[in-house]
Chain A
Amino acid sequence: MKIHVHTRVNGEATEFLCAPDRSLLEILRDELQLTGTKEGCSTGDCGACSVMLDGRLVCSCLVLAPEVEGRSIETIEGVAKGDQIHVLQRKFLEHAALQCGICTPGFIIAAKALLERNPDPSEEETRYWLAGNLCRCTGYDKIIHAVLDAAADLRGETR
C-alpha cells in the first residue's frame, strides 16, 4: 500500500507515492529525478547523500521517505540560485577541491550547514564537522581550504 507524501523540495511543493520502507534518498533519485544527491553506502557512513531536512543536516539514506510529510528539504540542486552559484561552489572550483566529484554535493551541503551555524570555524572544527563526509580522491586538504576560504569570503574577509 503506497503512501502519498506532500513535501517541499528546494522551495517547491512536491508530492510522490512511495512504499513505507523506501528511503528519502531513493525517492529523491528514482522518483523525483534529483540525482545530484548520491548513494555511496546507504548505511549513513559516507555522507554522499547529505541533504538538509527542515534546516538540519541529515543522511537521506537514513530518512524514511514518508517522514518528510509536511517538511522542507534542500538538496544540492537548490544551492545555486539560478545562474548564481553559492560561494562554496565557487571556492570548490577555485581550490580544485574535487577530483572525481562524487562526494562534492554531499560536502557542499554539509559545509553550507556548518557555515550557517558557525561563520568562523577553525580548521579543526571544520574537519570534525565534515568527518561524516568521505572523500577518497583528495585527502581533504583542498576541501578544507575551500570551506575556510568560503567562510572568510562570507565574513567579508580574505584568507
Chain B
Amino acid sequence: MSDKPKGDQPASDRKWKYIGTRPIRHDGLDKVTGRAQFGADYALPGMLWGKVLRSPHAHARIRGIDVSAALALDGVKAVITGRDFPDVASEAAEGGEGANDFGDLAMNVIAREKALYHGHAVAAVAATTAKIAEEACKRIVVDYEVLKPVLSLDAALAANAPILHESARATGHEPLPKGPSNVASRREMGRGDIAKGFSDADVVVEREFRTPMVHQGYIEPHAVLARTGQDGRSVVWCCTQGAFMVRAYSAKVLGLSTDMIKVIPTEIGGGFGGKTTVYGEPLAILLSRKAGRPVKFVMSREEVFRASGPTSGTHIRVKMGATRDGKLTAAEAVLYYEAGAFKGSPVGAAMMTVFAPYKLANVRIEGWDVVLNKPKVAAYRAPGAPMAALVVETVMDELAEKLGLDPIDLRLENAVHEGVQATYGPKFRAIGFVETLRAAKSHPHYKAPLGVNQGRGVACGFWFNAGMSSSANVSINEDGSAVVVTGNPDIGGSRASLALMAAEELGIPVENVRPVVADTEAIGYTDLTGGSRVTFATGMAVIEAARDVVRQLRARAAQIWSVELDAVAWEDGRALLLSEAPGVHEPLSLAQLAGRAAQTGGPLVGRAALNARGAGPGFATHLCDVEVDRETGAVTVLRYTAVQDAGKAIHPSYVEGQYQGGVAQGIGWALNEEYIFDENGAMENAGFLDYRMPVASDLPMIDTVIVEVPNPMHPYGVRGVGETPIVPPLAAVANAVQRAARVKLSELPISPPRLLEAIDRAV
C-alpha cells in the first residue's frame, strides 16, 4: 500500500536508495584487466596503416605537391592531399560547442594554400605497413614558399606583422583594425562607470600575467580505424568525446551526407576537451575510400603535441579597486588569447568568467582573439577560464594583503549569490559559491600552521556548465534487469552515474542495470561528452526514460489488476496498489512484470530525448600550501584542498576524482607545463620528458570537500563538476608561492628559473 507516486520532491528532501553510493563501475573489470578496447586497440583484416606528412615550416605557401614517388612505392595503396578534399565554406560548426568554423576546420585537417603551423597536415598515405607508409611520406615532394612565422601575441599584433589570412578581417566591437591583420576579433563587455568606480576605491591593484600554450595531456593519442564499404558508407572506430560530432564534422570536411558515416566511439583514454573535434578521422575515412581497405591512423605523442589542439597562451591585465572595508568598487580586464592558426580562442568564455564570482556594478572587459603560427587551439577543461582566474585571484590576494583582510573574508564580502546579476549579464539562480567559501574557511587546512618558506594560497573558480541535447533508452530485459543506452563516451565514470540514476528510478539494484555507450546508429542524436554536461543532461534524459518505463510498468500492473493507472504506485522496484483502490493485490516486482511483458502489451522500453535546460553553474574554493626552495627555485606542493559545489553527487568517488584530476592539471599548468617553440616555430619539447606534467611524486594527497547546493532545475539537483576544478589551481599555487617567497609573479609556469629570477628581483 502506498501514497501518491514520488515524482519530483525537492532533491534535498529526498531519501536516496542508490544515489550517493559508490558501486564498482560496470566497465571497471575490463579496464583493470586490459580487456577494454581503446581507440588504438581495434584491427580489421586487410587493414592498412595511415601516416601523415606534416609541414616542417610554421608559415609557408604550398605551391605544389608531387606524390608520384610515394604512389610508386610498393605497398602504398592511397595518397591524399588538400586537393582531394572539397572547399568548405565558412560556417559556424554546431555539435562541438562554441566557436568552431567548418571552413577553418577543413583547412586544419589538411592544408590547402598555406601551411600555418609546424606540424600542419599536408598529405596522408595508407600502406600495408606503418614503415612503408612512413617511407612513402618521405618521398612526397612539397614545394614550399617559406614565410616569416608569427610566434607570439606581441609579434602577431605588431605593425607590419606577417599576416596569416590575407582575406580575413577582424570582427566584433569597434575599434577594430582595418584591412588585413592577425586580429580575428575584439569584443567588449561591461556596465556601470569604471572611472567613478576606481575613484571611489581606497585601494587599486593592477596585475599582468603571461601564460603559455599548454596541452590537455591525455595519455591516449588520437586513434581512428575507418572502413568504407562497396556502397561508399564508412564505419569509423575512434576515441572521441562525441561520436555524433565526429560524424557531423567528418561529413562536412569530406562533403558527404551524415548518413554515409557511422561512428562507433571506443573507450577513450582522456580528452579534457582535446577530443571534441576531428584530426585524423576525415583523413582515415578518405584513405579507406580510395584504397578500398580499412585504414588505421594513430598519432604519435609528438604529433599529439605538434598537431592536435592545445589551449591558448595568453596575456592578461586585470585592475580592481576596493574600499577600505573590502567592498569591490570596479574591475577591468584586458585579455589577449592565442587562437593558433585559425580564429576561435576561448577568449569569449574568459571574458564571461573573469569576474563572475564577484558582485560588481562597474566592470569593463575587453577580449582579443589573435591568430598566429601555432596549432589551432581546442577546448581544454573550462576553456579560457583558468588563465583569467589566475590574474583576478592574484589581484584579490594582493587586495586582501593591502587591506589587511583575510583572503576568504574579502571574497565572502563580494561573493555572488542567487539573484545577483552576473558581470556577464544574467541573474544567477541558486548557486553555492558562499557555501564553498565557508567550507574552506572552516576546514582544518585553513588553520594549519605554516613554516619557513611556506605559504598558503586561496583561489576561487567558476564554470557555467552546459545542458545541450541527449537521448536515452531504458529497456527492461525478460528477467527484470535493465539496459540504459546513451550516446556519451565515458571519460570519467559517467556510465556508473547514469546506471545509478536509472536504478534509483526503477528501484532495482545498480548491479542489475547495464549502462551502454552506443554508436551513432543505435541511439538518438546526443551532444558530446564535455562541458560538464553528461551527469546533468544525459542524466536528465536517463531519469526521464526510466520514468517512462515506470509509467509503462504501472500501466501493465493496472491491466493485470483491472484498475485505473492512477491506482498504481511504483516503489522500491515494485508496483503497489494504492490503499484507496478496490481489491487486494500482492505487489508485482519489476522482474514479474518483465516476465509478463508480451502478455500485457509488448516490450518495456522507455525513451527520452531532450535539450536540457537549467544547467547550474559550479563554484569552487581551493586552498594550496607550498614550500619554496630559495636556492633552487623548486616548489613543493605540501597540501591541497578543493571545495566545490556539485549540487548533488551521484557517485561521490567520481565527483572527488574530477576535483582531484582538475587540481593536478592546474598544478602542472602553474608550475611546469609550457610549449617551448624555437625561432622557426617548431615545438622543442614535444614529448613527456620535457613537457613536464605532474607525476605521483610531485603531488600530495588532494583533499576534497563536496558541497551540495542542489540545482533546482535538475530532478536530483545535479550540477556539472568536470571543469570547475581546473579553474582555481593556477592562482591557488601562484598565491601560495608569492606568499611563501615574498615575490610578485607575472608569468607561468613558475618553473625554477623563473622563480629564482623573481626572488632575485625582489631582494
A contact set with B: CB distance below 8 Å:
19, 29-30, 33-43, 45-46, 48, 75-77, 79-80, 85, 89, 92-96, 98-105, 108, 123-124, 126-128, 130-145
B303 CB to nearest chain A CB (Å): 11
Q: Say how far B61's CB is from chain A's closest CB, in angstroms.
A: 33
Per the bound structure, the CA–CA distance linking A79 and B22 in Å amounts to 25
| B688 touches which of A43, A76, A98, A139 (Cβ 8 Å) | A43
* Docked pose: A146 CA to B272 CA in angstroms: 24
Contacting pair B697 A128 (CB below 8 A)? yes
B701 neighbours in A (Cβ, 8 Å): 123, 141, 144-145
Give the residues in chain A near B697, CB-CB below 8 Å.
124, 127-128, 130-131
Q: Answer whether residue B763 sits at the interface, using C-beta atoms and an 8 A cutoff.
A: no
Q: Which applies to chain B's interface (DSSP): helix, strand, loop or mixed?
A: loop
B300 interface residue per 8 A CB criterion: yes
**Nearest CB of chain B from residue A38's CB, rounded to whole Å:** 7
Could you give, for residues 698-739 of chain B, a 1 whenever the CB lies within 8 Å of some chain A CB and a 0 otherwise?
110110000000000000000000000000000000000000
In the complex, A38→B298 CA distance in Å? 12
**A residues near B218, Cβ cutoff 8 Å:** 100, 102, 136
Residue in B28, B664, B688, B696 whose beta carbon sits within 8 Å of that of A46 in the complex: B688
Residues of B near A40 (CB, < 8 A) are 219-221, 301, 688
Cβ-defined contact, A93 with B269, below 8 A: no
Q: Evaluate contact between A143 and B269: CB separation under 8 angstroms.
A: no
CB < 8 Å: which of A45, A127, A128, A130 contacts B689? A45
CB neighbors of A among B620-660 (8 A): 653-654, 656-657, 660
Q: Can you list 13 residue pairs at the A/B interface with Cβ under 8 Å?
A: A38-B269, A79-B33, A89-B29, A98-B28, A99-B491, A100-B491, A103-B219, A128-B697, A134-B695, A136-B270, A137-B270, A137-B657, A138-B664
A53 smallest CB distance to B (angstroms): 17
* Cβ of B32 to closest chain A Cβ, rounded Å: 4
Once A94-B24, A98-B28, A100-B491 are accepted as A-B contacts, the answer to whether A35 and B41 lie under 8 Å apart by CB is yes
Q: Is the CB of B657 within 8 A of A99?
A: yes
Give the shortest distance, in Å, between B274 (CB) and chain A (any CB).
Answer: 10
CA separation between A26 and B426, bound complex, in Å?
54
Contact of A89 among B32, B36, B38, B270 (CB under 8 A): B32
Q: Give B469 Cβ to nearest chain A Cβ, in Å.
A: 24
Residue pair B699, A140 in contact (C-beta under 8 Å): yes
Q: Which residues of A contact B346 (CB under 8 A)?
A: none
B125-180 residues with Cβ-Cβ distance < 8 A to A are 131
A98 and B32: CB pair below 8 A? yes
Kindly state whether residue B518 has any CB partner on chain A within 8 Å.
no
Contact among B221, B663, B694, B702 for A39, CB-based, below 8 A: B221
**Complex interface: chain A residues within 8 A of B34 (CB):** 34-37, 75-77, 105
Contact of B375 with A by CB under 8 A: no
B31 with A137: CB separation less than 8 A:
no
The answer on a CB contact under 8 Å between B31 and A104 is: yes
